[in-house]
Structures are given as C-alpha cells and as structure tokens.
Amino acid sequence: MDKKFFTDKELIELPGLLKRSIALSEEVLSADERRELAESLKVLDEECVNVKDTFGRNSIIHYLSAVNVLCEEIGADKSMIVAMMLTPLCRAGKLAPESAAAKWGDDVAKLLTGLLKVAGLYDRGVVGVSENFRNLLMTFASDIRVIIIKIVECTVTMRAINHHPDETKVRQAAFEAKSLYAPIAHRLGLYHIKGGLEDLSLKYTSRDIYTRIARKLNETKTSRDAYIADFIAPVKAELEKQGLKFDIKGRTKSISSIWNKIQKQHNDLEHIYDLFAIRIILDVPKEKERSECWLAYSVITDMYQPNPARLKDWLSIPKSNGYESLHITVRGPQSKWVEVQIRSKRMDEIAERGVAAHWKYKGIKSENNLDTWMNRVREIIEGTESGPLEMMKEFKMDIYDEEVFVFTPKGDLYKLPLGATVLDFAFNIHSRIGCTCTGGKVNGRTRKINHKLRSGDTVEIMTSASQQPKLDWLNFVVTSKARSKIRQSINEQNSKVADLGKELLYRRCKNRKIELEEASLMKLIKKMGFKTVTDFYSQIGKENLDPSDVITSYLAQEEKQEALPEARSAEEFTLQKNEEESTSDILVIGDNIKGVNYKMAKCCNPIYGDDVFGFISAEGVIKIHRKDCPNANNIRSRYPYRVITTRWSGKVGQQFSVVLQVVGHDDIGIVTNISSILNKEPNVSLRGIAIDSHDGMFSGNLTVGISDTAALSNIIKKIKTVKGVKDVHRI
C-alpha cells in the first residue's frame, strides 16, 4: 500500500490489523479467497485512490478494524467479511455489486447493495431530523446483516474518534450511536457492544460526567474487587458442594448504566441500587439447564436475602431475541444490593454474541422471534406519519421496552411491551379487532380498554360493530402498531367527514348561485384560524360550523376586496388598433378613455409590468389576467372569442396587491426583520400576513401593496437577504 495514503499512526496500526484479520477469518475464508481479497484492494493503491471515512481515516483501516470486531465480538461470517472488505472499492467506483456477484456470489452483492444505499443516505445527511431516516431503516429492515455491519462500523468509529478536533461531527456520531445503533444492538442481544456505544456516547457528549464516574470507580476498584470476592467465596463453596460445574465472575455495571441509575434514583454513586453484578455460568447439558439454574438460585437465596420484586425469569419464556437467563437481586454483605445472573454456557454465548449465536445454535427458537421483531420494525417505519424524530422516538421505545407475555383463551402466547393495554393486545391480534374493541375479559373479569396487562394474563377481546377509534386512545396505547393504526383510522374518518362538509358547502353555494373562488376561500379558511383545509371541512361535516355563516363571511370578504384599488373605472382604459396586429383590438391600460369596465383577476393578481390579457366575463366586466395565470390555458382554449389582447401604457399611479410566499427557519425576529424591510420601502405597504410554523421551519404568505414588477423584484431580493429566509416567490 502507498504510504502517502496513511497517517503515521495508521502505518503503525496496519500490520497488526492485517495479521489479526487473517487469523480471525481463517475459519470462513480459504487462503485463495484471502489472497483474492488482498489483490482486489491493490486496485486502490495502483490507481492512487485514497478513500477516507467521515473522520478522515483511511477506509481500509476502518474496514479491517470492523472485520476484527465482527469476528471477535459477534462471529465470523464469510459474506459479511467479503462485503466489508469490498465496500471501499465500491465506494471508489472501482467495483459494482453486480461484478462482485460473479466472483463472490449474489449474497455478497446483496450486502454490498445495502451498504452502498446506506452510504448514499449518509452522504445526504441521515442523522437527526433528515427525511432520509425512514429510508435508512427500510434498508436495514431488508437484511439484518446490514444492521450488524453498521453496528460494527459505528463501534469502530466511536472507539477511534476520542479527542477528534471536529466536535460537531463527534457529537453527531455520539447522538447516532446512542439513539439508533445502541437500541438495535440491545434488541439483537449484542449487550456488550450496546454498553460500549452508550459509554462512549456519554463520554463524547458529557465528558465531565463520564470522567467523574470513571475516576470514582477507579478510586474504589480495590475495595469493590474485595467486596465481590467476599460475596463470591461462600457462593462458590456451596455450589461446589451441590456438585455443579460452573464459572463465576463479578463485574461493575457500565458507566452509562450507572449514570442512568443516578438520574433515575436521584442519588449519588455511593448509594446506587445494585451497582454490582455477579454472573454464574453453568457447564451443563441442554436438557438439565433449567433445573440446575433453579438449583443455583435456591443456593444463593438461602445465603442472601432476595428481593422478589426484582426477579426476572427469562428461563421459562426467553426474550424475543433469544436471551435466556435468570436474574435475581439479593442483599449482600454490608447490606449492599447485588444482581446475580444465572445461565448456562449456551445461554451465555447467546447473551454475549447476540443474534450471531443463533447461527451456531440452530435448535433454539430464535429465527421466528427475529422475524417477528423485524416485522415490528417495518410496522414502525410504515406507520409513523409524524416525521423522523417521532419515528425515532417510537422506534427506540419499542425496542428498549421489556416484555409481558399474555395468552388467548385458546392458549396462544403473545409478547407485548411492558405497559401494554387490552387495546394494544387487540391491535396486536388484528387491526380490525383493535378498531372495534370495547374492552376485554382479563382472567375472566371484564376490564376497560386501557387496562394494563401483566405476564400470565389470559385475555379475551370484546368488540362492537359501532365502535370507532378515538383520539384519546393515543394517550394510553404503547405499541407502535396500535398508535399507527389508530392515527390511520382517525385520518380516514376525518377525510370522510371532510368530504361530506365540502359537499354541503358547495351545494349551499350552488343553491344561492354563488361561485366560490379557491384562492379567496383559502384566505378565508386561514383567517378563520384553521390549519388545514380538512379541518375546515370536517367542522362543517360535524355540524360545528354552519355553511350559511361561511358563505356570509366569504361574501363580506369579497365586498371588502372589491373596495381595493384593483377595480377601476373605464376612464383609465382605451381600445385601439395595434399597428403590428391590425386584425385584433388591444386594450391599453393607462389612457383616459371612458366606456370600459375591468377588474384585476384575483386568481393571479397582475401588476404593472406583467404580460397580461383581458377576458370578458359573463357579467360584461373585463378581467385582467397574467399570461402565466394558472387559468390562462383553460380560458384561451374554451373561450378564445372572449379574450382581448391587452398591454400596459404609461405609468399607472396605483398600488396592486401581490401575495409573496416566504419559507425559512423559524428564528426569533425573522418576521420582524421582514416587516421592517417592507416598512422602509417607499410606495410599498404590508396589507396582510399569515404565518404557519412546523418542525423549526415557517411558511408565510405576505400580501403586499406594490406599484410595478420592478419594485416587486427589488423587494424580493431584499427579503432574500434576511438571515434565515430560504426562499421567496410570488404566488
């Protein structure tokens, strides 16, 4: 490899990474395959391609490190290793996934395609509020191995960026690690990696807190180790008396876990509940696992006082990711609480290596559980309509929640998040059952739909054809499926009611021979305080708003609009022959000839300087339209005989109404700054303003009185200079 592409630190690191990668991948890659991978990577060196990651590290170093983490902490997989090693080539444009398929197979090509999709989303900015977040999760949901590779990459990056000079990028990576990859690692059972990501995230975002806890733990390490030894000694002796083969070890919980407990318990480090954790790993055949785990449980609870409320039995019913273990919390020496985890060697490997252990132990029922979780991920992605931040919140909530296990009357078992209600259970069975649920019988007793379920409950759902989802249901359901289906159903109900309301309003207008102009109606709807047109029509459909009152307000608005300077007498116009177009009359605006009445069309609000044409309406009034008016093509095709060629002549000393749409960041004072610019301009007046803000952005319509197109162009340029304004255009 060309040394100029590596930093001094990377050159020192490279030989060791290569040697370790070769050793770790020997069990899944032959010598020829490893040699072929090395030859492929030489292309980057020979063609002087220097591929860097986000933090400026050489991508070869990055992916070699990632391969080592994958093999050591999760498990070696041939397709994943090959895809990771070939990714720098693909990103440099030197290899297409289709070409890789010829040498390495379709499975590798599929992984490369997924990884390149993810890389493309990151190039466009995927973290935080980006709309690409949904696409990122969809890419993950298509192949679970893409998730695992990205978790590994995130781990490598987080371990490498301590004291990186770009603090903004470091904080962004920390946010992503904590909010996205750590929760997924948790669900996949990669608890060691999950804890590491959370610790490093805390370190990079709250270094003072991290350092204070780490220093305190280091200061008390000797006494803590002595305490763990004192706790273990009698337990070890008694387990040996029972003839059990086992390994026993103690540990202190992770820094991020300790910090979470400090916040949750509002306590200091010295008084944190169950700061210590002891793990007992039994060497036992699979058929004797449960009985010997419970035997170890009885030994420990005979020696130390247990806390029954803290018993967690994942032996009887494992977690959805395959995790099996028995957790108890006991009061040890000096009245300190200690958590004890009891499991077999097989269970421990699943707990340590997560989903990767499923590939080794094909006998456990984990594949279906994993598929169930992936389906839940897809439901969250497809069902959330409130934007990526809300989706991230629901996504994280859904995969971090503990589980309750409930039964149907037939004995079918369902897993739900902690805090799930009768209604959550109904939606989990089927969306139609959830939408018509009126309550349930829990262990034979009738309960309301918001009754929280507990593990072991038998639940029978009661329904009614007249029941419909209600908005307040969102206040107590906890599953993303229930929330998304409730929102979807309510939106459908509102849409039907809105259609009815619209029909009522237009029928009433037709009876009174009133033609509603859409632009004027939109102004009225905003003036009445409705955020959306659907809300407006829904209120009519629900009979909360009388169509007659709406029509009265509409006509009053139209009369007020008629009083504005757009409507002028015929004294300002003349019809004359155009020398260049001798076959048609031209309406020239600006001369004092009587006998013609006209109005400026409200659909396009023309002003002096616009290219315009006249249209003779059914009332005999000439309406002046801009040539680029949305209705122009329709008018010319249907009523060509009523169209009059029109042009401006001279200077019309009047103001015209123009509506400007302004879009920008919802910053403090931005509206004041825009208003200040308009007030300072001569012959410009602000006639109306309507602002709507959402997710840190605002969109506003400004109605401005202005003399001509030149003045309009000038004022648009000045508004664009206001800090925070993204776009200004005439509508």
CATH number, domain of 664, equals 3.30.70.260
pLDDT grade for 260, boundaries at 50, 70 and 90: confident
Q: Are residues 15 and 100 in the same domain?
A: yes
Whole-prediction pTM value?
0.54
- Last residue within a domain, chosen from 465, 487, 509: 487
Q: How far is CA 303 from CA 239, 278, 462, 511, 612, in A?
A: 11, 14, 48, 88, 95
Q: How far is CA 200 from CA 78, 351, 473, in A?
A: 29, 21, 38
CATH number at residue 298: 3.30.460.10
Q: Are residues 422 and 441 in the same domain?
A: yes
Please report the pLDDT score of residue 668 as a whole number: 66
Q: Are residues 279 and 396 in the same domain?
A: no
Q: What is the mean pLDDT of residues 27-50?
A: 78
In a domain, 363, yes or no: no
Q: Are residues 320 and 390 in the same domain?
A: no
pLDDT tops 90 at residue 410 = no
In a domain, 502, yes or no: yes
In a domain, 674, yes or no: yes
Token pair of 336, please? 């300190």
Q: Are residues 144 and 255 in the same domain?
A: no
Q: What is the pLDDT of residues 615-668, one digit of tens each?
A: 887 667 788 899 988 888 888 888 888 888 888 776 556 778 888 888 888 776
Please report the pLDDT score of residue 374 as a whole number: 56
97 burial (CB, 10 Å; 0-12 / 13-18 / 19+) is buried
CATH number at residue 33: 1.10.3210.10
Separation between Cα atoms, residue 62 and residue 4, nearest integer Å:
17
Q: What is the pLDDT of residues 413-431, one digit of tens each?
A: 787 888 899 999 999 899 8
Where b means 16+ CB within 10 Å and e means fewer, 418-434 reads eebbbbbbbbbeebebb
Q: Are residues 481 and 547 in the same domain?
A: no
Instruction: Give helix 191-205 / helix 207-219 axis angle, nearest 10°.
Output: 120
Q: Write out the residue range of the structural domain in which residue 662 sits.
A: 656-730
Q: Which of 290, 366, 260, 268 is nearest to 323 (CA)?
A: 366
In a domain, 274, yes or no: yes
In a domain, 361, yes or no: no
Q: What is the pLDDT of residues 75-113, one digit of tens each?
A: 888 899 999 999 988 888 888 888 889 889 998 998 998
Q: Which of 317, 315, 319 is nearest to 328 (CA)?
A: 315
Q: Are residues 476 and 507 in the same domain?
A: no
CATH number at residue 380: 3.10.20.30
Q: Are residues 27 and 82 in the same domain?
A: yes
Please report the pLDDT score of residue 596 as a whole number: 64
In a domain, 364, yes or no: no
Separation between Cα atoms, residue 256 and residue 195, nearest integer Å:
7
Domain count, the chain: 6
pLDDT grade for 573, boundaries at 50, 70 and 90: very low
Q: What is the pLDDT of residues 663-685, one digit of tens each?
A: 888 776 788 888 888 888 887 88
In a domain, 279, yes or no: yes
Q: Which of 73, 98, 97 is nearest to 86 (CA)?
A: 97
Please report the pLDDT score of residue 275 as a whole number: 67
Q: How far is CA 23 from CA 14, 26, 27, in A?
A: 14, 6, 8
pLDDT tops 50 at residue 362 = no
Q: What is the pLDDT of residues 461-507, one digit of tens each?
A: 999 999 999 989 999 998 888 888 898 888 888 888 888 999 999 88
Residues near 322 by beta carbon (within 8 Å), at least 6 away in sequence: 189, 350, 355, 357, 358, 364, 365, 366, 369, 370
Q: What is the longest distance spanned by two Cα atoms in the chain?
A: 117
The DSSP annotation for 255-315 comes to: HHHHHHHHHHHT--GGG-TT-EEEEEEE---GGGHHHHHHHHHHHHHHHSEE-GGG-EETT
Please report the pLDDT score of residue 289 as a whole number: 92
pLDDT tops 60 at residue 4 = no
Q: Are residues 393 and 503 in the same domain?
A: no
Please report the pLDDT score of residue 678 as a whole number: 84
Q: How far is CA 510 from CA 504, 515, 516, 547, 551, in A?
A: 10, 7, 9, 12, 11
- Last residue within a domain, chosen from 531, 560, 589: 560
Q: Are residues 479 and 417 in the same domain?
A: yes
Q: Are residues 205 and 276 in the same domain?
A: no
Please report the pLDDT score of residue 399 as a whole number: 54
Q: Are residues 191 and 260 in the same domain?
A: no
Please report the pLDDT score of residue 128 as a whole number: 45
Q: What is the mean pLDDT of residues 537-554?
A: 88
Separation between Cα atoms, residue 222 and residue 334, nearest integer Å:
16
- Last residue within a domain, chosen from 166, 186, 214: 214
Residues near 118 by beta carbon (within 8 Å), at least 6 away in sequence: 136, 139, 140, 146, 150
Q: Which residues pair with 375 in a beta bridge?
A: none
In a domain, 538, yes or no: yes
